[in-house]
Amino acid sequence: MIIGVVGLGLIGGSFCRAVKAKTRHQCLGLDQDFNVLEEALKIGAIDGILEVQELQNCDLVIVCLHPKQTISFLTEHAGDFKKGGIVIDTCGIKTAVVEAVEDPLRQNGVTFIGAHPMAGREFSGFFYSLPDLYEGASFIMTPSPDVDSEKLEVVRNLAKALGFSRIVLTDCQTHDETIAFTSQIAHVISNAYVKSPTLQNQSGFSAGSYQDLSRVAKLNEDMWTDLFLMNQQPLLFELNTVIEHLQEYRNALERQDAEGLRGLLRDGRILKENA
Amino acid sequence: MIIGVVGLGLIGGSFCRAVKAKTRHQCLGLDQDFNVLEEALKIGAIDGILEVQELQNCDLVIVCLHPKQTISFLTEHAGDFKKGGIVIDTCGIKTAVVEAVEDPLRQNGVTFIGAHPMAGREFSGFFYSLPDLYEGASFIMTPSPDVDSEKLEVVRNLAKALGFSRIVLTDCQTHDETIAFTSQIAHVISNAYVKSPTLQNQSGFSAGSYQDLSRVAKLNEDMWTDLFLMNQQPLLFELNTVIEHLQEYRNALERQDAEGLRGLLRDGRILKENA
């Protein structure tokens, strides 16, 4: 089939490279940066450049833009896609995106399936994209109940072909609540952690735990601000939860309550062991 | 020289294996678990079993016990070491250990040097020890000003021979404050993070950030309770610091303050980029 990829950053670029490396589908790329398109053509990551007026030729379009851009692109171009075609997004939050774009696309005879490839790097841009970025990762889909099962199968088969090892079907709310925990709060914590004044002494004192905890502090603040605000309630819940738990350790430590502290640490260890 | 290793867990076992794999020193092991000693002998990790009354034959003794055990072992056996010999510990906190054991050993003609190998695994015990555990790691020493420079050189050269890539000399207070940040608070945060009820949904939604943040939640609560209580003030400072910062993100999110949130995230990104 003809696959169009909109936005050739880390995620979109990796989709292009994976499609060309692992399937026989045709892959066209749309990006506002002509240098990126030229580079993608040069290294064979795309078969050709995709213009907006050619979206109607694509059987499947993968939109790899930030959440707000995804919503504006899909609502502006809702009438430009192939009737009977499929559009998926790749945003880290689903309720806000799906609610905004599903109806306009449906009214134009296009099937929209919310998707979230669970992969990334602490770098962004086409330059860092990889044909194997999705190898072994989860591919989450939040299809509405009325989505045709054959269309779902098309996307599922493509995801498997690109290297995803696990396809997860869920609803938007469960996705957003879970992602607030597995991804969003992890980024907030990492970003908050490095604000200790002790950071300046860390060189030479850093074993794995500092490296792990600080890794995702280096984030794109524009994209994550949007993601956080579009998932306000679930993220607020996680923030309140972790702050309350941290206060328990702090209070036990302040009281020099060895048994209390040991119990708190034991509870966490057991939860992790069973996770 | 003859090196004695007291406590053949992950850290001590790895010292034994590294000494035998990378140097020509003789290595003797002391442990309360005879099965561990037999296994260490069998695989050539030690040249022989070390009895307490033979401590006086060792030029260098590396004590690889938990902090409280380290203190009790060294104060009980302060008179059993070789006069003119060297004893080092491997505890994750230094002030409490050095203050307790340095004087008794000094009075017995033994040089004590506080040490902290910055390496570990999320598993414990001799079974998980590795000859290459220290490859590329930092070796921190907190020698008192009166420590003979030749003795310091003996330990430094051994550390380099065992694979440590960086030798850091500092004082106990700086060590403890820094380690509260790079290691201790990271373990508390990880242990607190997994207590969210959302943990039960994480399967299939976990990219790198969840894995990184939850890794050290699986900790030995007995050892870490001791470490935390023996480093109360620096760890309380880090706990209060990170809680205050997390509250800033929470408040910005609650107010839907995009500019405030973006600014908080940007500050963290820049700190990490420059760390």
Residue in chain B closest to A164 (alpha carbons) equals B204
The average pLDDT across A202-215 equals: 89
For chain B, the residue count is 275
The average pLDDT across B20-49 equals: 97
pLDDT higher than threshold 90 for residue B208: no
Query: What's domain A2-170's superfamily in CATH?
Result: NAD(P)-binding Rossmann-like Domain (3.40.50.720)
The average pLDDT across B191-205 equals: 94
Output the pLDDT for position B154.
98
**Given an 8 Å threshold on Cβ–Cβ distance, is B191 in contact with A225?**
no
E strand or H helix that includes residue A266: helix A258-274
Output the pLDDT for position B123.
79
What ipTM does this complex have? 0.89
Which residues of chain B have a CB within 8 Å of the CB of A197?
241
pLDDT higher than threshold 90 for residue B152: yes
Q: How far apart are CA A231 and CA A38, in angstroms?
A: 36
Where on the phi/psi map is residue A206: left (φ > 0), alpha (ψ -120 to 50), or beta? beta
By percentage, how much of chain B surpasses pLDDT 90?
95
Q: In the A/B pair of chains, how many CB contacts fall below 8 A?
A: 297
Among positive and negative, which fits the CA dihedral B210, B216, B220, B221?
Answer: negative
Q: List B27's β-bridge partners, or say none.
A: B3
Domain extents for chain B?
2-170, 174-274
SS3 string, B77-138, reads CCCCCCCCCEEEECCCCCHHHHHHHHHHHHHCCCEEEEEEECCCCCCCCHHHCCCCCCCCCE
**Given an 8 Å threshold on Cβ–Cβ distance, is A253 in contact with B185?**
no
For chain A, the residue count is 275
**Given an 8 Å threshold on Cβ–Cβ distance, is B225 in contact with A271?**
no
Output the pLDDT for position B248.
98
Nearest to A216 by CA among A238, A191, A240: A191
* B250 → closest Cβ in A193, A222, A236: A236
The tokens describing B255, both together, are: 């107010």
Higher pLDDT, residue B203 or A79: A79
Output the pLDDT for position A99.
97
DSSP SS3 for B44:
coil
Q: Which residues contact A107 (CB under 8 A, 6 or more apart)?
A: A78
Which residues of chain B have a CB within 8 Å of the CB of A119?
207
Average pLDDT, chain A: 96
Which residues of chain A have a CB within 8 Å of the CB of B166?
204
Q: How far apart are CA A209 and CA B262, in angstroms?
A: 26
Contact status, residue A102 vs residue A78, Cβ threshold 8 Å: no
Furthest C-alpha separation in chain A: 68
- pLDDT band at B186, cuts 50/70/90? very high
The amino acid at residue B32 is Q
Residue in chain B closest to A116 (alpha carbons) equals B205
Please report which residue ranges of A162-216 form alpha helices under DSSP H: 172-179, 185-193, 208-214
pLDDT higher than threshold 80 for residue B14: yes
Mutation pick from A259, A265, A267 vs chain B, by most beta carbons of B within 10 Å, is: A265
Output the pLDDT for position A123.
79
Mutation pick from B94, B230, B242, B257 vs chain A, by most beta carbons of A within 10 Å, is: B242
How many C-beta atoms surround the C-beta of residue A162 within 10 A? 24
**Tens digits of per-residue pLDDT, B60-72?**
999 999 999 999 9
Which residues of chain B have a CB within 8 Å of the CB of A243?
243, 246-247, 250
Output the pLDDT for position A126.
95
The average pLDDT across B3-20 equals: 98
The average pLDDT across A96-122 equals: 95
pLDDT higher than threshold 80 for residue A207: no
Q: Is B256 exposed, middle or buried (0-12, 13-18, 19+ CB in 10 A)?
A: exposed
Output the pLDDT for position A238.
98
Contact status, residue B216 vs residue A210, Cβ threshold 8 Å: no
- pLDDT band at A122, cuts 50/70/90? confident
Average pLDDT, chain B: 96
**Given an 8 Å threshold on Cβ–Cβ distance, is A177 in contact with B273?**
no
Angle of helix B10-22 relative to helix B34-42, nearest 10 degrees? 20
The tokens describing B234, both together, are: 């620096």
pLDDT higher than threshold 90 for residue B207: no
Output the pLDDT for position B134.
96
pLDDT higher than threshold 90 for residue B34: yes
**Given an 8 Å threshold on Cβ–Cβ distance, is A221 in contact with B269?**
yes
Output the pLDDT for position B206.
80
Output the pLDDT for position A168.
96
Distance from the A132 Cα atom to the nearest Cα atom in chain B, whole angstroms: 15
pLDDT higher than threshold 90 for residue B204: no
Contact status, residue A6 vs residue A62, Cβ threshold 8 Å: yes
Please report which residue ranges of chain B form alpha helices under DSSP H: 10-22, 34-42, 67-76, 95-107, 149-161, 172-179, 185-193, 208-214, 221-229, 232-254, 258-274
The average pLDDT across B2-7 equals: 98
The average pLDDT across B87-106 equals: 97
DSSP SS3 for B139:
strand
The average pLDDT across B196-222 equals: 91
Output the pLDDT for position A208.
85
Contact status, residue B61 vs residue B86, Cβ threshold 8 Å: yes
Q: List A140's β-bridge partners, or say none.
A: A116, A168
**Given an 8 Å threshold on Cβ–Cβ distance, is A236 in contact with B258?**
no
Angle of helix A232-254 relative to helix A221-229, nearest 10 degrees? 100
From residue B102, alpha-carbon distances to B70, B98, B99, B155 in Å are 12, 5, 6, 16
pLDDT higher than threshold 90 for residue A124: no
Q: How far apart are CA B245 and CA B93, in angstroms?
A: 25
Q: Which of A141-145, A153-157, A208-212 has the lowest mean pLDDT?
A: A208-212
Residue in chain A closest to B138 (alpha carbons) equals A204
Question: What CATH code is assigned to A174-274?
Answer: 1.10.3660.10
Q: Which residues contact B188 (CB under 8 A, 6 or more apart)?
A: A246, A249, B228, B235, B239
Mutation pick from A66, A225, A267 vs chain B, by most beta carbons of B within 10 Å, is: A225
DSSP SS3 for B63:
strand
The tokens describing B88, both together, are: 């080092």
**Given an 8 Å threshold on Cβ–Cβ distance, is B236 in contact with A254?**
yes
Higher pLDDT, residue A172 or A206: A172
- pLDDT band at A232, cuts 50/70/90? very high
The amino acid at residue B135 is E
pLDDT higher than threshold 80 for residue A32: yes
- pLDDT band at A120, cuts 50/70/90? confident
